[in-house]
Amino acid sequence: MMATSEHSAPTGAAGLRNRFQTAWHVLPWLVAIVFFFVASGYLSLGTQIMIWILFAISLDLALGYAGIVTLGHAAFFGFGAYVAGILTVRATGDPLIGLLVATALTGLLGFVTGILTLHTKGVTFLMLTLAILSMIYEYANRAKALTGGDDGLQGMSLDPLFGRFEFNIFGHTAYIYTLVVLFLWFLIAWRVVHSPFGRSLDGIRQNPRRMRAIGTPVWLRLVAIYTLSAAMAGSAGALQAYATRFVGLSVLSLFTSGIVAVTLILGGTKRIYGAFIGVTIYFLVQDYTAKIDPHLWEFVIGGLLIAVVLFLEGGLMSLVDSARNGLARLFKRSNRT
Amino acid sequence: MNDAAEPILSVRGLCKKFGALTVAQSVDLNLESGARVGLIGPNGAGKTTLVNLLTGVVSADAGSILLGGEAIDKLKPEDRVHRGLVRTHQINTLLVENSVRDNVAIAIAERERYAWRGLRFTRQWRACLEEAEERLHEIGLAREADREVRHLPYGEQRLLEIAIALALKPQVLLLDEPGAGVPSTEAHIIHEVLDRLPSAIAILIIEHDMDLVFRFAHEIIVLVQGMVLTRDVPEKIAADPKVRAVYLGKCVL
């Protein structure tokens, strides 16, 4: 686990190592900020990547940490997107209120569906998540007046953020807004997984019987993390609606659930940062190979996934670990001499 | 047995049927604090089922369970644990991907109900780890604290089961075959740990290993087909012709 070395007091070599680790934590955010200034032509791709990182972290909380094997996570992403979209069209164009309402309502959806389904497990639970996803999809398809049906929800016009920053076609505001929301959720997720609560989830994933025997209310814990995970996915969906100013039925498709699972497994589950790597690789591969051949990216991603699952336990993050450890050793050696 | 002492665990008329199969038939059982009671009986006598009934993993059809004078039969298993009724498992039930220390620390965090209090968790977790370290020291597993449980030898995993249970500060401890699967060459380690268990805890031990039970228990209950056949001091149990008959397969009921 990542946190095991965090208990040691920061003295001497340990302090040096801690500073070294902190540097790694800064890296992804630094990349995101530098990207904003140097790659302004690719901001919409960058925004898309960050939205999906958020979505993938939300799945990591449920699937990676708590072992809730779901294929219905698109329900929360799509629900958040539709709530944000419909609010913008019908009630208010304020992107802050919209995001908060979408997050809260999706959390509520997670809470209710969690209460109804989380006493089941394995294939039964998997089927229930699929059923709930299909029901919401079909509702969105039928409720044309509200959602636009299969034409999608159009005509979203957003107010400027804080009354100042326009959501323009270059996507500057959407990029920064997404980055800030991702960062806030990242802090929450990081704290949650390293708290006694998070550790109990890891225990539940491994052995619910053991956890019951030490007095853990297993079902309640699962409902709690499922609610949080849903709220987070709802935020990601809302950001998606704002970034593209359009919500289509595809946000609620099984394919969306599948892709987020693929990105998470590519990057590595139970790591938080796995989502960063998996999603980034996925979108970069998609972007580059699609230029060569529209179907090539599926082939490449499929191959990559097979390779990772077969040869890299812990996903691409395990490569990052090896690189980190190698660098740390080099660093240590050069310090000694 | 001290008759004046109020029993910490008091079971009256506990019944359970699985379909036509009766696994507990009006079981009465008292444990005073500091009790060392062995529970023996042939295979299928309902020993583990009794533990499951007491801990709430299986719900009883009838009967009452009092812990410290309060009825706990309606409580969920996790709430019974918080009241001080703790068990170990016949088959190791551990978090195999975690270190030995984390296994104990997670139990301590549950005991202190840290999970819902998120704000000061770094300090809380450190306190859990420190206490876990002490617990492991007491039971003789300190050397293995950093080891992942899946790489731990079987006998030491049995010890860890007990260390986790003790970390929960139980009033009543149900040991479900602590010696199961431990090779005879390592059995003495289990014996030593059992001898050093805190004297205030009331302990019910289920065991097939007669050496272990007769060494450890001050009293022995013989369970046959879900019924208490007899309860007495080890010497009398060993000499009891009814008990012999049960173990040698002669039907006495």
> Which tens digit of pLDDT belongs to each residue from A319-336?
888 888 888 788 777 766
Q: Do A199 and B124 touch (CB under 8 A)?
A: no
Confidence band of A97 (pLDDT split at 50, 70, 90): very high
In a domain, B1, yes or no: no
Confidence band of B90 (pLDDT split at 50, 70, 90): confident
Q: What percent of chain B has pLDDT over 90?
A: 40
Tokens of A314: 């812990």
Q: What is the pLDDT of residues A250-268, one digit of tens each?
A: 999 999 999 999 999 989 8
What's the rounded Cα separation, in Å, for the pair B34 and B8?
Answer: 9
The answer to whether residue A16 scores a pLDDT higher than 80 is no
Minimal CA separation from B246 to chain A, in Å: 32
Confidence band of A9 (pLDDT split at 50, 70, 90): very low
A2-11, A202-211, A213-222, B234-243: least confidently modelled range = A2-11
Mean pLDDT is highest, among A167-171, B52-56, B189-193, B211-215, for B52-56
Confidence band of A4 (pLDDT split at 50, 70, 90): very low
**pLDDT, mean of residues A20-40:** 84
The answer to whether residue B253 scores a pLDDT higher than 60 is no
In a domain, B241, yes or no: yes
Confidence band of B47 (pLDDT split at 50, 70, 90): confident
Q: Report yes or no: A292 at the B interface, CB cutoff 8 Å.
A: no
Q: Report yes or no: A197 at the B interface, CB cutoff 8 Å.
A: yes
Q: Nearest CA to A161 among A102, A98, A103?
A: A98
Question: CATH number, domain at B63?
Answer: 3.40.50.300
Which among B55, B99, B109 is the nearest to A196, CB-wise?
B109
Angle at A65 between CA A136 and CA A122, to 5 degrees: 55
The answer to whether residue B99 scores a pLDDT higher than 90 is yes
Q: Which of A199, A216, A225, A269 to mutate to test the interface with B (most CBs of B within 10 A)?
A: A199
CA dist B228 → A71, A89, B55, B175, B220 (Å) = 50, 72, 19, 18, 11
What's the confidence (pLDDT) of residue A216? 92
Minimal CA separation from A216 to chain B, in Å: 6
In a domain, B129, yes or no: no
Q: Report yes or no: B78 at the A interface, CB cutoff 8 Å.
A: yes
Contact yes or no for A235/A181 (Cβ under 8 A): yes
In a domain, B148, yes or no: no
What's the confidence (pLDDT) of residue A105? 97
Nearest chain B residue (CA) to A3: B122
Q: Do B94 and A207 touch (CB under 8 A)?
A: yes
Minimal CA separation from B23 to chain A, in Å: 22
Question: Could you give the 3-state DSSP secondary structure of residue A197?
Answer: helix
Nearest chain B residue (CA) to A224: B116
Q: Which of A210, A218, A270, A313 to mutate to test the interface with B (most CBs of B within 10 A)?
A: A210
Confidence band of A13 (pLDDT split at 50, 70, 90): low
- Provide, as residue numbers in chain A, all residues whose Cβ is less than 8 Å from the Cβ of B116: 197
Strand ordering across the sheet containing B85-87: B85-87, B172-176, B202-206, B36-40, B219-224, B227-232
The answer to whether residue B212 scores a pLDDT higher than 90 is no
In a domain, B39, yes or no: yes
What's the confidence (pLDDT) of residue B1? 45
In a domain, B116, yes or no: no
Q: DSSP class of residue B1?
A: -
In a domain, B65, yes or no: yes
Question: Could you give the 3-state DSSP secondary structure of residue A193?
Answer: helix
Could you give the ipTM of this predicted complex? 0.87
- Provide, as residue numbers in chain B, all residues whose Cβ is less than 8 Å from the Cβ of A202: 95, 97-98
The answer to whether residue B252 scores a pLDDT higher than 60 is no
A160-164, A232-236, A307-311, B3-7: least confidently modelled range = B3-7
pLDDT higher at B195 or B115:
B195
pLDDT higher at A121 or A127:
A127
Which among B81, B125, B168 is the nearest to A196, CB-wise?
B125
In a domain, B70, yes or no: yes
**pLDDT, mean of residues B134-160:** 91
Question: Could you give the 3-state DSSP secondary structure of residue A100?
Answer: helix
Contact yes or no for B110/A216 (Cβ under 8 A): yes
Q: What is the pLDDT of residues A292-316, one digit of tens each?
A: 887 788 888 888 888 888 888 888 8
At A285, which helix (H) or strand (E)?
helix A273-292
Structural domain range at position B198: 9-97+169-248
Q: Do A213 and B93 touch (CB under 8 A)?
A: yes
The answer to whether residue A10 scores a pLDDT higher than 50 is no
Q: Do B106 and A196 touch (CB under 8 A)?
A: yes
- Provide, as residue numbers in chain B, all residues whose Cβ is less than 8 Å from the Cβ of A192: 118
Q: Which of A7, A200, A207, A214 to mutate to test the interface with B (most CBs of B within 10 A)?
A: A214
Q: What is the pLDDT of residues B48-83, one digit of tens each?
A: 889 999 999 888 888 899 998 889 988 999 999 999
Q: Do B106 and A199 touch (CB under 8 A)?
A: yes
The residues, any chain, with a CB within 8 Å of residue A271's CB and separated by 6 or more, are A2, A60, A64, A314, A315, A317
What's the confidence (pLDDT) of residue A110? 97
What's the confidence (pLDDT) of residue A15? 62
Question: Could you give the 3-state DSSP secondary structure of residue A167?
Answer: coil
**pLDDT, mean of residues A169-192:** 91
Minimal CA separation from A21 to chain B, in Å: 17
Which among B93, B96, B106 is the nearest to A200, CB-wise?
B106
- The total number of structural domains in chain B stands at 1
Question: Could you give the 3-state DSSP secondary structure of residue A46?
Answer: helix
Q: Report yes or no: A221 at the B interface, CB cutoff 8 Å.
A: yes
Tokens of A305: 């996934």
**pLDDT, mean of residues B119-139:** 88
Q: Do A203 and B99 touch (CB under 8 A)?
A: no
Confidence band of B94 (pLDDT split at 50, 70, 90): very high
Q: Nearest CA to B132 among A196, A208, A270?
A: A196
Angle at A187 between CA A32 and CA A97, to 5 degrees: 85
Confidence band of A2 (pLDDT split at 50, 70, 90): very low
**pLDDT, mean of residues A7-19:** 55
